[in-house]
Chains A and B, each alone.
Chain A
Amino acid sequence: MYSRFKNGTKRTLVALNMALKIEDLSLKRGNRLLINKLSFSLNQGESLLLTGPNGVGKTTLIRSIAGFIEPISGQITYKPEKAKAQTDEEDENRKECMHYIGHKNGIRTSLTVLENLEFWKAFFGANTNLSSIIKTYFLESLINIPAGYLSAGQKRRLGLARLSISKRPIWLLDEPTVSLDEMSSNIVASAANDHLKEGGILIAATHIPLEIPFTQHIQLKKNIEQDWEEII
């Protein structure tokens, strides 16, 4: 299903029956314990909505799944269900299977919209058709404009277009619809729905309702006692 896993034997198994498992995950930011022994798992085609007040750890959780933050305890595993115990090599592979959309859009402002898209296409070694992506994300009239001149919402759309450039089984979206208008939010939602239909996994943190039928919902709560203990 995922054409990018075309070379190498170990990669061919990744496309089938995979699950993302989070077990007893605890995360710290500075001295504060943000996530305490969180567990969940997502199978193919399943999606998770993360909500909670600001500063509760949504971004930290997503960044730790993306591999940027080391958990203080617990495990994040991503592998076919029947595979044996996880090796380091598989964990390295986890990053290649993910699209992470964070607060930053990941576009170079001196490059034009088209150059940005072309760069990511070449960088990921993808063979997608850029013109259809440009159409889907409503970027046709902008392709020759340097990305620095775009509005915040247009920049976000350009950043999100990366999701469609190379196919990857896991999408991690941190506030994907920030500064997007309603029509652009719907583009994201329909791209996400297509992704799920194809058997992808999606984790999204958002405050704005998205037209995605999430299969799981985790509401993170502020753990005031815990904070207090840490401060004392």
Chain B
Amino acid sequence: MSAFFALLKRDIALSIREGGTIGIALGFNLIVVTILPLGIGPDQNLLNQIAPGTLWVTLLLSLLLSLDRLFLTDYEEGTLEIMTHSETPLELIVVAKALAHWLTVGVPLSLMTPALGLLMNLSPDQFGILTLAALIGTPALSFLGAIGAALTLGLKRGGLLLPLLILPFFIPTLIFGVSSTTEFLFASGNYLNSLALLAALSISSIVLAPFPTAAALRFNLH
């Protein structure tokens, strides 16, 4: 387990130091949500109604932007192949890296949703559910995204193929993320059910996704 924590610590430190990944994800999310109301127009009711869907879609896209870097630098600099030469299974290495990605990209993106909600005319008592749903749902995105990042590792411009491969797998998270928020906003159902399903998606992704990811990495190291 020492390798797991060493890698987690290193990846978080690198991500903060290099800054690019978090900065681009947060900046992209902010700019898209900022220009959207300008395009749609000042209809406050309409904005309020489309807010959950919009915020979730921009969250997915911002997170996708950062995914192609997940294994790329370690692959290019040769650290990934050395990591396969250790007692630590590659699956656990994948968990450490995807967890670091969630902590440095998923969590900041979730925490910025209240600021974006303001732009979409959500009232402050609705911010809580939005952030909570994002925090519960984003681990699934980091872990499922790792599969795509590992598959496109050896490819030139793999970053462009990654969204095509991986966005379909984000759909369940999108659906339950949006439904939990709308159910809370418009009191149209029990939002706790949707949150539970979001959590189930995240937990099953954390457990299952490392296996195909590690297999794809092994293939790409050949």
Are both chains from one complex? yes
Interface residues of A (CB under 8 A from B): 66-70, 95-96, 98-100, 102-111, 115, 119-120, 122-125, 159, 162
Q: How far is the CB of B87 from chain A (nearest CB, A)?
A: 5
Indicate whether A95 sits within 8 Å of B10 (C-beta atoms), given known contacts A68-B222, A107-B77, A124-B3: no
- Find chain B residues with CB under 8 A from A125 CB: 2-3, 87
Alpha-carbon gap, A103 to B81, bound state (A): 11
Is A98 touching B85 in the complex (CB atoms < 8 A)?
yes
Interchain residue pairs with CB less than 8 A apart (14): A68-B222, A98-B85, A104-B81, A105-B77, A106-B78, A106-B79, A108-B14, A108-B74, A109-B77, A110-B17, A111-B13, A120-B82, A122-B2, A125-B87
CB of B205 within 8 A of chain A? Answer: no
CA distance A134 to B86 in the complex (A): 22
| Any A CB within 8 A of the CB of B43 | no
Give the interface centre of B3, B17, B18, B81 by most chain A CB atoms within 10 Å.
Answer: B81
Known contacts A106-B81, A125-B87; can you find 10 more A-B pairs with CB under 8 A? A96-B86, A104-B81, A106-B77, A108-B77, A111-B13, A115-B13, A122-B6, A123-B6, A123-B83, A124-B86
User: Contacts of A95 on B, CB cut-off 8 Å?
Assistant: 84-86
Interface of B is mostly: helix
B10 touches A119 (CB 8 A): yes
Given A96-B87, A123-B3, does the pair A107, B79 have CB atoms closer than 8 Å? Answer: yes
Tell me the complex Cα distance, A109–B77, Å.
8
- B73 interface residue (CB < 8 Å to A): yes
Q: Are B81 and A68 in touch, CB under 8 angstroms?
A: yes
Complex CA distance for A37 and B82, rounded to whole angstroms: 28
B222 lies within 8 A of A70 (CB): yes
Task: Please give, as numbers and ranges, the residues of chain B lying within 8 Å of A120 by CB-CB distance.
Answer: 82
Known contacts A99-B85, A102-B81: A108-B73 contact under CB 8 Å? yes
Bound CA–CA A141/B5 (angstroms): 28
Q: How far is the CA of A83 from the CA of B3 in the complex (A)?
A: 30
In the complex, whether B7 has a CB less than 8 A from a CB of chain A is yes
Residues of A within 8 A of B74 (CB): 108
Other-chain residue from B77, B83, B84, B222 in contact with A104 (beta carbon distance below 8 A)? B77
Residues of A within 8 A of B76 (CB): 104
Q: Is the CB of A119 within 8 A of B81?
A: no
Write the nearest CB–CB distance from B197 to chain A, whole angstroms: 36
Q: Which B residues contact A (CB, under 8 angstroms)? A: 2-3, 5-7, 9-10, 13-14, 17-18, 73-74, 76-79, 81-88, 221-222
How many Å from the CB of A196 to the closest CB on chain B? 20
Which residue from chain B places its CB closest to the CB of A146 in the assembled complex? B17
Within the complex, the shortest CB–CB distance from A10 to chain B, in Å, comes to 12
What residues on B are CB-neighbors of A162 within 8 Å? 82
Shortest A34–chain B CB gap in Å is 14
Contact check, B85 vs A100: say whether CB atoms are below 8 A apart. Answer: yes
Q: In the assembled complex, which residues on chain A have CB atoms less than 8 Å from the CB atom of B222? A: 68-70
Report A-chain residues with C-beta under 8 Å of the C-beta of B87: 96, 125
| Cβ-neighbour of B78 out of A66, A102, A110 (below 8 A) | A102
Residues of B within 8 Å of A107, CB to CB, are: 77-79
In the bound complex, what is the Cα–Cα distance between A98 and B84 (angstroms)? Answer: 11
- Decide: A123 and B7 in contact? CB cutoff 8 A: yes
Closest to B79 in A: A106
CB distance from B4 to the nearest CB of A (A): 9
Whether A123 contacts B86 by the Cβ 8 Å rule is: yes
Q: Return the contact of A100 from the options B5, B6, B77, B81 (Cβ within 8 A).
A: B81
In the complex, chain A residues whose CB is within 8 Å of the CB of B3: 122-125
Chain B hits for A98, CB < 8 A: 85
A124 to B1, CA, bound (A): 10
Q: Of all chain A residues, which has the CB nearest B5? A: A122
Hey, which chain B residues are within 8 Å of A109, CB to CB? 77
Q: Are B85 and A105 in contact (CB under 8 A)?
A: no
Closest to B221 in A: A68
- Complex contacts, B79 vs chain A, CB 8 Å: 106-108
Q: State in angstroms the CA–CA spacing of A29 and B3 once bound together.
A: 33
A95: nearest residue on chain B (CB-CB)? B85
Contacts of B18 in A (CB 8 A): 110
A106 in contact with B2 (CB, 8 Å)? no
